[in-house]
Amino acid sequence: MNDTNKNKAPNSGLYGPQVLAYISNNYDRNLVLEDVASYFHLNKCYFCSVLKKELGKTFSQVVNEIRIENSKPLLEEGRLSTLEVALTVGFNNQNYFNMTFKKITGMTPLQYRRIANQK
Protein backbone atom coordinates (compact mmCIF):
# COMPACT_ATOMS: atom_id res chain seq x y z
CA MET A 1 0.00 0.00 0.00
CA ASN A 2 1.44 3.38 -0.91
CA ASP A 3 1.53 6.35 1.45
CA THR A 4 -1.34 8.24 -0.21
CA ASN A 5 -3.85 5.44 0.44
CA LYS A 6 -2.60 4.50 3.90
CA ASN A 7 -4.53 7.20 5.77
CA LYS A 8 -7.80 6.90 3.87
CA ALA A 9 -10.74 5.14 5.47
CA PRO A 10 -11.96 2.12 3.50
CA ASN A 11 -15.29 3.84 2.75
CA SER A 12 -13.76 7.22 2.02
CA GLY A 13 -15.80 9.16 -0.53
CA LEU A 14 -18.85 6.93 -0.28
CA TYR A 15 -20.95 8.76 2.29
CA GLY A 16 -21.47 12.05 0.42
CA PRO A 17 -23.73 10.68 -2.34
CA GLN A 18 -25.59 8.46 0.13
CA VAL A 19 -26.20 11.37 2.50
CA LEU A 20 -27.41 13.58 -0.37
CA ALA A 21 -29.81 10.84 -1.48
CA TYR A 22 -31.09 10.31 2.07
CA ILE A 23 -31.66 14.02 2.67
CA SER A 24 -33.23 14.46 -0.78
CA ASN A 25 -35.72 11.72 0.07
CA ASN A 26 -36.45 13.03 3.57
CA TYR A 27 -35.99 16.82 3.38
CA ASP A 28 -39.60 17.46 4.37
CA ARG A 29 -39.16 15.68 7.70
CA ASN A 30 -37.55 16.93 10.89
CA LEU A 31 -33.95 15.95 10.14
CA VAL A 32 -31.80 15.83 13.26
CA LEU A 33 -28.04 15.53 12.89
CA GLU A 34 -27.72 12.78 15.50
CA ASP A 35 -30.48 10.71 13.88
CA VAL A 36 -29.06 10.96 10.37
CA ALA A 37 -25.55 10.15 11.61
CA SER A 38 -26.96 7.16 13.47
CA TYR A 39 -28.75 6.01 10.30
CA PHE A 40 -25.31 5.78 8.66
CA HIS A 41 -23.87 4.09 11.79
CA LEU A 42 -21.55 7.02 12.50
CA ASN A 43 -21.16 9.24 15.53
CA LYS A 44 -22.19 12.84 14.91
CA CYS A 45 -18.66 14.30 15.09
CA TYR A 46 -17.26 11.88 12.54
CA PHE A 47 -20.37 12.29 10.38
CA CYS A 48 -19.86 16.08 10.35
CA SER A 49 -16.20 15.75 9.42
CA VAL A 50 -17.06 13.31 6.61
CA LEU A 51 -19.67 15.73 5.20
CA LYS A 52 -17.27 18.64 5.36
CA LYS A 53 -14.53 16.61 3.68
CA GLU A 54 -16.67 14.99 0.97
CA LEU A 55 -19.20 17.75 0.26
CA GLY A 56 -17.43 20.82 1.60
CA LYS A 57 -20.54 21.72 3.60
CA THR A 58 -22.06 21.28 7.03
CA PHE A 59 -25.11 19.12 7.68
CA SER A 60 -27.31 22.21 8.05
CA GLN A 61 -26.03 23.70 4.80
CA VAL A 62 -26.81 20.50 2.89
CA VAL A 63 -30.30 20.19 4.38
CA ASN A 64 -31.13 23.86 3.83
CA GLU A 65 -29.88 23.88 0.22
CA ILE A 66 -31.97 20.81 -0.63
CA ARG A 67 -35.04 22.29 1.07
CA ILE A 68 -34.63 25.61 -0.74
CA GLU A 69 -34.23 23.88 -4.12
CA ASN A 70 -37.43 21.94 -3.46
CA SER A 71 -39.26 25.11 -2.43
CA LYS A 72 -38.63 26.86 -5.75
CA PRO A 73 -41.17 24.90 -7.85
CA LEU A 74 -43.77 25.37 -5.11
CA LEU A 75 -43.17 29.13 -5.09
CA GLU A 76 -43.32 29.25 -8.90
CA GLU A 77 -46.60 27.33 -8.87
CA GLY A 78 -48.14 29.96 -6.61
CA ARG A 79 -50.86 27.82 -5.04
CA LEU A 80 -49.32 27.78 -1.55
CA SER A 81 -48.54 30.69 0.74
CA THR A 82 -44.93 31.26 1.73
CA LEU A 83 -45.70 29.75 5.14
CA GLU A 84 -47.23 26.66 3.53
CA VAL A 85 -44.20 26.28 1.25
CA ALA A 86 -41.86 26.59 4.23
CA LEU A 87 -43.74 23.93 6.18
CA THR A 88 -44.03 21.65 3.14
CA VAL A 89 -40.27 21.54 2.61
CA GLY A 90 -39.42 20.96 6.27
CA PHE A 91 -38.91 24.39 7.82
CA ASN A 92 -40.72 24.94 11.12
CA ASN A 93 -40.47 28.71 11.00
CA GLN A 94 -41.35 31.06 8.14
CA ASN A 95 -38.83 33.70 9.20
CA TYR A 96 -36.00 31.16 9.17
CA PHE A 97 -37.19 29.94 5.76
CA ASN A 98 -37.20 33.52 4.42
CA MET A 99 -33.75 34.23 5.83
CA THR A 100 -32.30 30.95 4.52
CA PHE A 101 -33.91 31.39 1.10
CA LYS A 102 -32.42 34.87 0.78
CA LYS A 103 -28.99 33.69 1.96
CA ILE A 104 -28.92 30.90 -0.64
CA THR A 105 -30.62 32.60 -3.61
CA GLY A 106 -29.93 36.29 -2.98
CA MET A 107 -33.64 37.15 -2.95
CA THR A 108 -36.64 36.63 -0.72
CA PRO A 109 -39.22 33.94 -1.51
CA LEU A 110 -41.71 36.63 -2.57
CA GLN A 111 -39.17 38.26 -4.89
CA TYR A 112 -38.44 34.84 -6.37
CA ARG A 113 -42.16 34.18 -6.86
CA ARG A 114 -42.69 37.55 -8.59
CA ILE A 115 -39.77 37.00 -10.96
CA ALA A 116 -40.96 33.47 -11.74
CA ASN A 117 -44.46 34.76 -12.51
CA GLN A 118 -43.08 37.36 -14.95
CA LYS A 119 -41.57 34.65 -17.15
Q: Tell if the pTM clears 0.85, that is, is over it.
A: yes
For the chain, what are the domain ranges?
15-60, 67-117
Segment 52-74, tens digit of pLDDT: 999 999 999 999 999 999 999 99
CA atoms of 101 and 72, how far apart (whole Å): 9
Mean pLDDT of 5-26: 76
Q: Over the chain, what is the mean pLDDT?
A: 91
Superfamily of domain 67-117: Homeodomain-like (1.10.10.60)
Integer Cα distance of 100 and 54 in angstroms: 23
Give percent above pLDDT 70 in the chain.
89
What pLDDT is recorded for position 107?
98
Domain boundaries 15-60, corresponding CATH code: 1.10.10
In this prediction, residue 12 carries a pLDDT of: 55
Two domains, one topology: 15-60 and 67-117: yes
Q: Give the whole-number percent of the chain exceeding pLDDT 90.
A: 86
CA distance 102 to 104: 5
